[in-house]
Amino acid sequence: MRPLWLRLRFRLRSSKVSSIRSIITWSFSIFIVLVLTIMALLLHDKFTQAAERSAELTTRQIVDQVSYNLEDYVRSMSHLYRAIEEHMLRDGTWEGDQVDKQLDTLLSSREDIISITLLDSKGELLKNRPSAELKSSAHVTQQGWFQSALRVPDHLSFSLPHIQNMYSGPYKWVVSMSKGITVRQNGQDRQVILLVDINFKQMDELSRRVSLGQRGYVYIIDESAGNIVYHPQQQLMYMGLKSENIEQALVATGSYEDEADGQKRLNTVKSVANIGWKIVGVAYLDEIMTTRQEVNGYLVRVLLVVLILVILVSMLLSSSLTRPIRRMERKMKAVERGDFNVELPIQGPLEVERLSRRFNLMVYKIRTLMNEIIHEQEQKRRLELEALQAQINPHFLYNTLNSVVRMVGMSRNEEVITMITSLSRLFRISLSQGKTIITVREELEHAHHYLTIQQMRFKRKFRFSLDADEDTLDCLTLKLVLQPLIENAIVHGIEYHTDEGCIEIRVYREREQLVFCIMDNGVGMTEEQVAGLLHGSPIVKSGAGSGVAVRNVHDRIRLYYGEGCGLEFESELEEGTTVWIRIPVQCEREDGNKYDKAQ
Amino acid sequence: MIKRNEDKDKDKDKAIIRRMVSPDPIKKFSQSILCVRSCMGIVATGCCLFLGTACGISNADSVLPPPRVALITPAGTGELAEAIRLGAEAAAKENGAELLTVEAFPSEAAAYAPSNPDSTIHQARELQELSGQDISVYSQREQAQIRAVTQALEQGASALLVDPLSEKALSDIIQKAQTMNKSGMSVPVIVLNDEFPVEGITSVISMDNVEAGRQAGEAMAELLGGRGSVALLGPDPVNPGLIHREQGVMESLEQYPGIQVEPKSVCSTRDVCWQAAKQLLDQQQVDGFIALQEPASLGAADELHRRKLERQVNIVGFGSEQQQLEQLQEGVFQHLIVQNGFSAGYLGLNQAVARLSNQQVQARVTLETKLVSTDNMFWMDNQKLLFPFVQ
């Protein structure tokens, strides 16, 4: 049990079935259907029992009714018989108009009396109404009613329905009421037999009209011998196509079930008083009560409908429950993508609210941490920048001071003054109160001073020009970007060049970019050299050459302005080199210096 | 009645639901209530759905309309036709089918219309016998029967039980049944009490005429003590049923060398048979008549009655009409071969239903015949056979 359960749980976990939605839907559905099924089963038994009982009751009532009607009819016929007996044999005589009249009155009052016959014990006709000739071929003395009247005198007996064949005319089914009566005539006792034949039609109709379901019927048997008195399908019984279990009906009281042609039937038995008959009501169970199968079918259909409803409702329910969770998931995905400015609305079920709060807190925490990290990174970057910038100075200072020393040694005071002045200016701009961002104007000034110094160092081996568009002067730029490149142009391009060098610096705007262009007519570089300039390890080395300064500039611009900015080279051997520095346009009016902190 | 009540209940349910769903003016309340209301709406719709389906479920049990089977007997006044109808009714009730009985005789029908199914009598035949008229003319009765079939088909009968008057009438009926149905399917035809060799019959319900003939022959031989002359009345060279009966009679009488069979006389109405019997009795000594059909037996009885020879000459007949039974009781007939009309109707309808529900159908169902005599005609089971209905 347990391992199975665990296995199941594992299965559930590992499948998609374990979503809250499906868990709710299915558990809900299974639970409700289970409850309904149990209810249905419990009700089912009760229901079928009740149905059986009520069916039995209905059948019983119908059979009782038929029995009552028959009894009533028999009773009224007995009365009639007595009345006939009265009128006929009152004075020991049956002759005379008086009697005839009375009998005719009785006959006309009841149309179901077919004939009244008075016979003596030898079967000779004494009198009959309506008057007719007795057929000799009828063999009266052999008829059942005659014999029973003789056998039990002074007792009114009813015969089974039979064909009356004593008179000519259409053959009719009759029930014969007969009685052996002792009449005193002329002081002598005389045995006579009074026969009243009543049409069986009335009883036949009484029994035929009964409906017990679609195919149900009643039949009547005679209690003494079990002869069939009435059966709607008597013909079929004679043909052997149908049979009734008469033995069982004879001994039974109340109801019993039997089976015929594979169909269950409910038989209800009731005796009819005074005549010795028994009524059996036959009802087919599948008609008078909904069978188990039908009930089952119905229940299954109901269960299906309920299941569909439950699934619908629980889907709605679970989706309304999981909607906030799914919303959360969306927000989390956004966070995954890197958008930390999300906030979950605090709403929905309590648990979801709590979760949302926690999530918001978490995101806030992450946000602050990120900011801290960014800040740190910037710090780091700034420090790096400063380190890089700081690398320039001592190197250059060393060179310049060397030159100054040389100049002093050559006592070229004018130049020394210019140089020292330029140098001090240079350094003032370099320092620029610790800012890393300066205007183009200042940068150009810085370049100018530097060029001146270098011109003096290299004994005017080159000339230079600075040319900036008016609208660029107030723009901001990272400081000390030109100087290393100029140094590069001088040291690598012009120093070993035989002709007079020329360095042209231009600043202009190109769309949203600010471009510094440094051209020299130096020795130029090979393509490999150009490619090697911006790649390779950015190890900071002090000392001249090896393009470290150039790398420096490139990396700083990249660090500060991001990708898409930096240096571009174009060079041809013996022709010269052109460098473009591209940075975004930022003017002094805007606060483009976000991360610059005054120190 | 009950159905109507159910409908009422359903309407009530609907009304309640309508009241549940109908919008109530709680719009001024807060959102939570709106939410609750929407839930209730869902629930209500659910209930609606549920009840609707429940009703649908309970209504889904309604059954198909019962199959309609039409019974067409020749002029339905005779006892046999009536017994057939009773049997068919009993079977219809048992199978849940609907029985249409179409009166196959014009209302201005002659009062005398013997409806023994074996009798193929009609005025046309009679006239033909007398004046040699062309046989192709339909008699009034045949026309009436064909009309009745047409009518039954128009009333949507899905199967026909027919006791045909003649071969021609039967083939006409079958042709109609195969073409006239509304649904375009051919209607099965079940033939009662006849053996006309016509194509397209679904099933034939009839007695074994050869066996019945044998029974009649045996009974006669017994009556005559194996000696005497026997005349056959009313054979018919064109009616296969009667041919078989004759065959049966001859087969059985061949066993008795002491019995000689007089030349048979063909006749098919009471009067013609009476004339035939008269001629026979005029010409020679006849100890027994075997009347192969009802009018023949009546005709023979008439002649014997006229000659006061009822006690001397035996008659064995076929049929169970009122008059024959009276004469049987009186001893004019010694024996009647009776067939069970009730079972013909019953079994015929069963075959029709079996055919309509695509079950096995017997192409031929043989009915039992019974030899009834003056002595045993009022025995209990014979009573039911001879007098099938209470009136």
pLDDT digits (tens, 9 = 90+) for B166-193: 888 888 888 888 886 556 677 889 998 8
Q: What is the mean pLDDT of chain B?
A: 75
pLDDT digits (tens, 9 = 90+) for B259-310: 988 878 888 788 999 999 888 888 888 899 999 988 888 999 988 988 888 7
The encoded tokens of residue A123 equal 């079967």
Query: Is the pLDDT reported for residue B84 higher than 80?
Result: yes
Q: Mark yes or no for CB contact A305/B61 under 8 Å.
A: no
Question: Residue B252: what pLDDT?
Answer: 92
Query: Is the separation of the CB atoms in B157 and B187 below 8 Å?
Result: yes
Confidence of residue A67 (pLDDT cuts 50, 70, 90): very high
- Report DSSP letters for A552-571, one per residue: HHHHHHHHHH-TT-EEEEEE
Query: Is the pLDDT reported for residue B217 higher than 50?
Result: yes
Confidence of residue A538 (pLDDT cuts 50, 70, 90): very low
The encoded tokens of residue A510 equal 């190109």
Query: Is the pLDDT reported for residue B220 higher than 90?
Result: yes
Q: Give the number of A-B residue pairs with CB atoms closer than 8 Å.
A: 89
Q: Which of residues 332-361 of B touch A (CB under 8 A)?
A: 340, 342-343, 346
pLDDT digits (tens, 9 = 90+) for A479-519: 878 888 888 888 778 877 778 888 999 999 988 889 999 99
pLDDT digits (tens, 9 = 90+) for A113-131: 899 999 988 888 888 878 8
Question: Residue A517: what pLDDT?
Answer: 93
Query: Is the pLDDT reported for residue B3 higher than 60?
Result: no
Q: Which residue of B has its CA nearest to A240?
A: B343
Q: Mark yes or no for CB contact A306/B57 under 8 Å.
A: no
Give the separation between CA B32 and CA B37, rounded to whole angstroms: 8
Question: Residue A568: what pLDDT?
Answer: 87
Which chain B residues are within 8 Å of A241, Cβ to Cβ? 343, 346
Q: Mark yes or no for CB contact A301/B93 under 8 Å.
A: no
The dihedral built from the CA positions of residue B66, B67, B73 and B75, taken in this order, carries a sign that is positive
* Three-state secondary-structure class, residue B238: coil
Q: Mark yes or no for CB contact A301/B50 under 8 Å.
A: no
Query: Is the pLDDT reported for residue A309 higher than 70?
Result: yes
Question: Residue A425: what pLDDT?
Answer: 87
Give the nearest partner residue to B384 out of A214, A238, A312, using CB atoms: A238
A215 CA: distance to closest CA in chain B (Å): 6
Query: Is the pLDDT reported for residue A546 higher than 50?
Result: no
Percent of chain A with pLDDT over 90: 13
How far, CA to CA in Å, does A457 sit from each of A224, A488, A491? 157, 15, 11
The encoded tokens of residue A264 equal 């269950």
Which chain B residues are within 8 Å of A161, Cβ to Cβ? 390
pLDDT digits (tens, 9 = 90+) for A411-468: 888 888 888 888 888 888 877 777 778 899 988 998 898 888 888 877 778 889 999 9
Query: Is the pLDDT reported for residue A163 higher than 60?
Result: yes
Give the separation between CA B310 and CA B46, rounded to whole angstroms: 87
Q: What is the mean pLDDT of chain A?
A: 82
Question: Residue B44: what pLDDT?
Answer: 46
- Its pTM stands at 0.61
Query: Is the pLDDT reported for residue A12 higher than 70?
Result: no
Q: Which of residues 13-52 of B touch A (CB under 8 A)?
A: 42-43, 46, 49-50
Q: Write phi, then psi, for B60 (nearest 5 degrees).
A: -65, -15
Query: Is the pLDDT reported for residue A57 higher than 60?
Result: yes
Query: Is the pLDDT reported for residue B121 higher than 50?
Result: no
Q: Is B90 on the interface with A (CB under 8 A)?
A: yes
Q: Write phi, then psi, for A158 (nearest 5 degrees).
A: -105, 135
Which chain A residues are within 8 Å of B365, Cβ to Cβ? none
Confidence of residue A522 (pLDDT cuts 50, 70, 90): confident
A173 CA: distance to closest CA in chain B (Å): 6
Q: Which residue of B has its CA nearest to A317?
A: B39
Give the nearest partner residue to B381 out of A135, A160, A238, using CB atoms: A238
A360 CA: distance to closest CA in chain B (Å): 26
pLDDT digits (tens, 9 = 90+) for A246-278: 888 888 888 888 888 888 888 999 998 888 899
Q: Write phi, then psi, for A464 (nearest 5 degrees).
A: -140, 160
Question: Residue B250: what pLDDT?
Answer: 92
Q: Mark yes or no for CB contact B390/A227 under 8 Å.
A: no
Q: Which residue of B has its CA nearest to A311?
A: B46
Query: Is the pLDDT reported for residue B38 higher than 50?
Result: no
**CB-side exposure of A179: number of CA atoms within 13 Å?**
15
Give the nearest partner residue to B343 out of A173, A235, A294, using CB atoms: A235
Q: Mark yes or no for CB contact B385/A309 under 8 Å.
A: no
The identity of residue A369, as a single letter, is: L
Which chain B residues are within 8 Å of A204, Cβ to Cβ? 390
Q: Mark yes or no for CB contact A305/B53 under 8 Å.
A: yes
Longest CA pairwise span in chain B (Å) = 119
Q: Mark yes or no for CB contact A173/B61 under 8 Å.
A: no
Q: How far is CA A324 from the centre of its chain?
A: 19
Task: Please count the other Cβ atoms lying within 10 Å of the Cβ belonging to residue A355.
Answer: 16
Query: Is the pLDDT reported for residue B357 higher than 70?
Result: yes
Percent of chain B with pLDDT over 70: 72
Confidence of residue A543 (pLDDT cuts 50, 70, 90): very low
Average pLDDT over residues B90-96: 86
Q: Mark yes or no for CB contact B385/A313 under 8 Å.
A: no
The answer to whether the bond into B117 is cis (omega within 30° of 0) is no
pLDDT digits (tens, 9 = 90+) for B134-171: 444 577 778 888 888 888 888 888 899 988 888 888 88
Question: Residue A186: what pLDDT?
Answer: 77
Give the nearest partner residue to A309 out of B49, B61, B325, using CB atoms: B49
Q: Mark yes or no for CB contact B329/A170 under 8 Å.
A: no
Question: Residue A291: what pLDDT?
Answer: 62
Query: Is the pLDDT reported for residue A353 higher than 80?
Result: yes
Q: Mark yes or no for CB contact B390/A204 under 8 Å.
A: yes
pLDDT digits (tens, 9 = 90+) for A381-411: 777 766 666 555 676 778 778 878 888 888 8
pLDDT digits (tens, 9 = 90+) for A188-227: 888 889 999 999 998 988 888 888 887 888 999 998 888 8
Confidence of residue B6 (pLDDT cuts 50, 70, 90): very low
pLDDT digits (tens, 9 = 90+) for A552-598: 788 778 878 877 888 888 888 888 889 999 999 888 654 444 444 33
Question: Residue B372: what pLDDT?
Answer: 93
Query: Is the pLDDT reported for residue B52 higher than 70?
Result: no
Q: Which of A16-30, A433-447, B176-190, B243-257 has the highest mean pLDDT?
A: B243-257
Question: Residue B293: what pLDDT?
Answer: 87
Q: Which residues are paired to A216 by β-bridges?
A: A212
Query: Is the separation of the CB atoms in A519 and A576 below 8 Å?
Result: yes
Query: Is the pLDDT reported for residue B214 higher than 90?
Result: yes
Q: Is residue A586 packed enough to be buried (19+ CB in 10 Å), middle (13-18) or exposed (0-12)?
A: middle
Q: Mark yes or no for CB contact A298/B58 under 8 Å.
A: yes
Which chain A residues are within 8 Å of B387, Cβ to Cβ? 163, 171, 173
- A481: Cβ–Cβ under 8 A, 6 or more apart, which residues? A443, A516, A553, A556, A557, A581, A583
How far, CA to CA in Å, does B305 sit from each of B282, B328, B377? 15, 13, 21
